Structure 1
């Protein structure tokens, strides 16, 4: 596993915590107000290795491997990979570390969980940074096999998230991805990058290694198979009104 370093070029601290029925791996470093970093698919805490040295002078960062990813447990699907379950994971982790209030910086699938955290536990979250993601209801519409969505994929007027129903399907993605993890995830990630050269091979190698580990691919896919639960959880949050904390949203050219 490649290492992550703080602003003084010291290795960050690794930890394991038993939270919400699983054993969860996380890193922590720095000093100042707590900042929870939530990664996307198919990544791990290592996603933050470049920005960690810029954050640790100002924040106490906490970056977990989310449920199903990296060195964190990958329980049976019946144990839940949805936003509410992941939010409870993170609340339990921050309780374990003694952080009663904290900010969140989240991207991709992690942003789904960041939104759920801020909506379900508003008394705990001071700020939310929601990056490169949309809420599940819109994600559903962007996954439809329509002329408009397909055309938008190529003429920069929209986006077609074909992978949502594909990765949701039982058994089929495992059959097609296993043994081809490097080719699939490299294409998957670089196709989403504005500048694919910024995706360093050492990071790709780490995430491919994790996806090949026992349960690694299943853990990733279960976050997609929780899609309809996420729709319900998010609709419940939206029905209560606006989030109470300040929110920053960050997008990218599609």
Structure 2
């Protein structure tokens, strides 16, 4: 990793927390009830840098990098992709929070982090007291909706899930070009304008590493296989999330591909509430004021 990257979290502690055979690179700061913030693809904890100051005035923020992303440990590939399943990661993050001294906490997740979040809320219902999911639908719902139009919108789900090492080799041939195309194409403006240059520096730094490109592909392979099966088992059993759930999606985001994202989530959480915010997929960076206000109002109530 480059050592000269800009500090986007002044006055926040940098800490590496070991849990479940993984080392999680974290930024920690603020005061008040604990709020675990989990990022998504193709980013790291720096996605929260625009809204962290306001949230830190009300909550103690714990912002780790997901396994394989940023500066956290890279799990080994495994048959069945279990080391990258959201169940495995949920167990690890729950243990990480216990190592930090928190047996219960709030959780907000964006993209892949939101998938870890709802799995954690399902598997450890006493740990997550309130959950917020940003611009996703549950994994099994996305796969079950995969028609021509939906497949074109989230083509990367099928591409990144192809067997090792095909997508890795293709992305590694031009990683920054792939990264910046992906980021821009999921914003409402179809540009990189919403991302600060400092955040882009951080993301470019780790995304160009072949081992981390492979880790992010394994994340999506797990999503196409074991994560889907875990979701299906819960849905067939009628299991629902007991914690309160806030659903936020971009008015031009990926979750807006369905007519009513909230209706989909209420099959998983009958008490779910939510709304669309202006922007595309990257709400904390495209709509930082609206996103922070929604999270403060929800978790602070």
**What is the CA-CA distance between 1:236 and the residue it aligns to?**
3.1
How many residue pairs were aligned? Answer: 240
For residue 101 of structure 2, what is the aligned residue in structure 1? 98
The alignment partner of 1:251 has SS state of strand
Matching of residues 73-152 of structure 1 within 5 Å = 73-78=73-78, 80-144=83-147, 146=148, 148-149=149-150
| Aligned equivalents of 1:149, 1:68: Cα separation in 2 | 27
Which stretches in structure 2 are left out of the alignment for 5+ residues? 254-301
For residue 174 of structure 1, what is the aligned residue in structure 2? 168
Does residue 261 of structure 2 align to residue 230 of structure 1? no
For residue 221 of structure 1, what is the aligned residue in structure 2? 217
Q: Indicate if the aligned counterparts of 2:8 and 2:198 stay in contact, CA closer than 8 A.
A: no
Structure 1 runs of 4+ off > 6 angstroms? none
After superposition, what is the alpha-carbon deviation per residue over 1:141-186, rounded to whole angstroms, capped at 9, x for unaligned?
A: 4444x2x446xx6xxxxxx311111001122211211131111111
The alignment partner of 1:237 has SS state of helix
**What is the CA-CA distance between 1:136 and the residue it aligns to?**
1.3
Q: Which moved more, 1:61-70 or 1:213-222?
A: 213-222
For residue 65 of structure 1, what is the aligned residue in structure 2? 65
Of 171, 185, 197 in structure 2, the residue corresponding to residue 201 of structure 1 is 197
After superposition, what is the alpha-carbon deviation per residue over 1:195-241, rounded to whole angstroms, capped at 9, x for unaligned?
A: 43212233223112111235111111111010111112222333343
The alignment partner of 1:36 has SS state of strand
Q: Which moved more, 1:38-47 or 1:130-139?
A: 130-139
The alignment partner of 2:114 has SS state of helix
Q: Which moved more, 1:41-50 or 1:230-239?
A: 230-239
| Aligned equivalents of 1:141, 1:242: Cα separation in 2 | 18
Does residue 186 of structure 2 align to residue 192 of structure 1? yes
| Aligned equivalents of 1:240, 1:96: Cα separation in 2 | 32
The alignment partner of 1:37 has SS state of strand
Q: Indicate if the aligned counterparts of 1:83 and 1:233 stay in contact, CA closer than 8 A.
A: no
The alignment partner of 1:198 has SS state of coil
| Aligned equivalents of 1:181, 1:235: Cα separation in 2 | 34
For residue 46 of structure 2, what is the aligned residue in structure 1? 46
Q: Indicate if the aligned counterparts of 1:143 and 1:163 stay in contact, CA closer than 8 A.
A: no
User: What value does the CA root-mean-square deviation take over the aligned residues?
Assistant: 1.7
Q: Which moved more, 1:79-88 or 1:89-98?
A: 79-88
The alignment partner of 2:132 has SS state of strand
Q: Which moved more, 1:198-207 or 1:58-67?
A: 198-207
| Aligned equivalents of 1:36, 1:73: Cα separation in 2 | 18
Which stretches in structure 1 are left out of the alignment for 5+ residues? 154-159
| Aligned equivalents of 1:16, 1:140: Cα separation in 2 | 34
| Aligned equivalents of 1:72, 1:11: Cα separation in 2 | 21
Q: Indicate if the aligned counterparts of 2:176 and 2:208 stay in contact, CA closer than 8 A.
A: no
| Aligned equivalents of 1:202, 1:176: Cα separation in 2 | 26
Q: Indicate if the aligned counterparts of 2:105 and 2:128 stay in contact, CA closer than 8 A.
A: yes
After superposition, what is the alpha-carbon deviation per residue over 1:62-82, rounded to whole angstroms, capped at 9, x for unaligned?
A: 011111111111121126111
For residue 270 of structure 2, what is the aligned residue in structure 1? none
